[in-house]
């Protein structure tokens, strides 16, 4: 089984390193535009089965050329390349696990093409979207009538620095997209779009995190795939108190706008300008991070009101020397690739993880995540 990893940043390198431990991966090819990034990845992976390949990954044609001979690919690419990677994988008859969950209706429109090609495309397969999705789906499965699902997740610094109390744990471009795109939710059974940065609420987590604040962000595929199964569903992104109001001020002042403006005859978008200004303010003085996750699904079971809650507090991984966000994003994607290779997953088409890791697959997948260092607690509450 020949598995390709597209992109060798922090998350892509983690995927490659974990795949190198998997006996079913006879060959792993790490692909990036930069030789230095590949060299660093290979040095960390330390495996004779891992190879590097320098290639352009800017277009569908580029990616299709790279994927010749690939059985499975894992895309660790910018959001802007997600749809191109899916089209390239289908054209190359290659299964694809994609970390990006945005533009889901456009991806779902390729379902039949993927089936005809005999491949499985899994969009949004990380921590959020990813783990949160299948936890919510399983919670709904455990109820006769699911009334509300709340999916909350976020990466926060262990040692927050002012003024924003946040450090970038993935692409700054992707983070700002999260803050500026409308949020798709399920409200009273219907799919609804909310304005960015809506619904500020407090949420508490066990130590060392404590009190946080959340806003509603895009629920990606879950809003579409779980509609009709739950009355209300929202996804929330977690930050330390004060962060969201500061970002809202920047948004209201226009610093996160995409439309270009002219400054001394130089055209630039305020958002691109803000990225350059914010980047050094969001680097943090420590690389140690924490990923927090909480999924709550409530409703009725045999006439009794119940709530199912899954919670995770994951810290910087000192053994692997990687951030928690890299670990919790990379490992679910790597594990789905393993399950495809091992024929534990046989479906074809464009199928998000909430339709794959439920019912009989749910607990075995959680067990394997735990063996790989991602432990998720669970409790059931009964009311009345």
- Three-state DSSP state, 47: coil
HSE on the CB side for 8, CA within 13 Å? 28
Return the pLDDT at 243. 95
User: pLDDT truncated to tens, each residue of the chain (384 aa)?
Assistant: 999 999 999 999 999 999 999 988 999 999 999 999 999 999 999 999 999 999 999 999 999 999 998 999 999 999 899 999 999 999 999 999 999 999 999 999 999 999 999 999 999 999 999 999 999 999 999 999 999 999 999 999 999 998 999 988 767 777 888 889 999 999 999 999 999 999 999 999 999 999 999 999 999 999 999 999 999 999 999 999 999 999 999 999 999 999 999 988 999 999 999 999 998 888 878 899 999 999 999 999 999 999 999 999 999 999 999 999 999 999 999 999 999 999 999 999 999 999 999 999 999 999 999 999 999 999 999 997
Return the pLDDT at 169. 72
| CA gap 272, 330 in Å, rounded | 27
Return the pLDDT at 280. 86
CATH superfamily of 131-324: Dihydrodipicolinate Reductase; domain 2 (3.30.360.10)
DSSP string, 106-150: HHHTTHHHHHHHT-EEE-S-BBTTBHHHHHHHHHHHT-SEEEEEE
> pTM score, two decimals?
0.95
Return the pLDDT at 285. 83
For residue 239, the tally of other CB atoms under 10 A from its CB is 21
Return the pLDDT at 174. 75
- Are 295 and 235 a contacting pair, CB within 8 Å? no
Sheet holding 27-32, edge to edge: 50-54, 27-32, 2-6, 72-75, 95-98, 120-122, 349-350
| CA gap 320, 56 in Å, rounded | 29
- Are 316 and 288 a contacting pair, CB within 8 Å? yes
The phi and psi torsions of 344 (rounded to 5 degrees) equal -80, -20
Kindly tell me the sign of the dihedral angle through the C-alpha atoms of 126, 128, 132, 137. negative
**In this structure, what token pair is assigned to residue 342?**
């091992």
CATH topology of domain 2-126+326-372: Rossmann fold (3.40.50)
Return the pLDDT at 176. 84
- Are 120 and 351 a contacting pair, CB within 8 Å? yes
Q: Would you kindly state where each structural domain of the chain is located, as residue ranges?
A: 2-126+326-372, 131-324
- Three-state DSSP state, 88: helix
């Amino acid at each position: 089984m020949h598995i390709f990893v597209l992109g060798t940043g922090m998350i892509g390198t983690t995927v490659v390193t974990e795949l190198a431990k998997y006996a079913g991966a006879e060959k792993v090819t790490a692909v990036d535009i930069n030789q230095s990034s590949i060299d660093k990845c290979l040095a960390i992976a330390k495996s004779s089965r891992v190879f590097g390949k320098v290639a352009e990954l800017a277009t569908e044609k580029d990616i299709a050329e790279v994927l010749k001979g690939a059985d499975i690919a894992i895309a660790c690419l910018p959001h802007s390349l997600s749809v191109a990677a899916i089209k390239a994988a289908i054209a190359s008859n290659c299964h694809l696990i994609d970390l990006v969950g945005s533009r889901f209706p456009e991806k779902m429109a390729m379902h039949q093409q993927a089936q005809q090609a005999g491949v499985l495309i899994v969009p949004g397969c990380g921590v959020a979207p990813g783990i949160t999705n299948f936890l919510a789906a399983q919670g709904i499965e455990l109820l006769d009538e699911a009334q509300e699902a709340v999916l909350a997740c976020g990466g926060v610094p262990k040692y927050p620095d002012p003024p924003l109390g946040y450090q970038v744990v993935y692409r700054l471009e992707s983070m700002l997209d999260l803050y500026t795109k409308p949020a798709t939710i399920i409200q009273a059974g219907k799919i609804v779009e909310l304005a960015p940065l809506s619904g500020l609420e407090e949420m508490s987590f066990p130590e060392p995190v404590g009190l946080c604040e959340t806003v509603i962000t895009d629920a990606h595929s879950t809003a579409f795939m779980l509609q009709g199964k739950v009355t209300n569903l929202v996804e929330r992104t977690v930050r330390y108190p004060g962060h969201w109001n500061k970002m809202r001020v920047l948004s209201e002042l226009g610093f996160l706008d995409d439309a270009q403006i002219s400054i001394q005859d130089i055209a630039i978008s305020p958002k691109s300008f803000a990225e350059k200004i914010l980047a050094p303010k969001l680097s943090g003085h420590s690389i140690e991070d924490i990923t927090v996750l909480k999924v709550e699904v409530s409703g009725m079971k045999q006439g009794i009101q119940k709530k199912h809650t899954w919670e995770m507090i994951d810290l910087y991984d000192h053994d692997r020397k990687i951030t928690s966000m890299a670990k919790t994003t990379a490992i679910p994607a790597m594990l789905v690739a393993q399950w495809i290779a091992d024929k534990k997953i046989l479906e074809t088409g464009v199928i998000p993880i909430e339709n794959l890791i439920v019912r009989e697959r749910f607990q075995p997948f959680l067990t394997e995540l735990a063996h790989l260092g991602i432990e998720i607690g669970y409790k059931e509450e009964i009311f009345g």
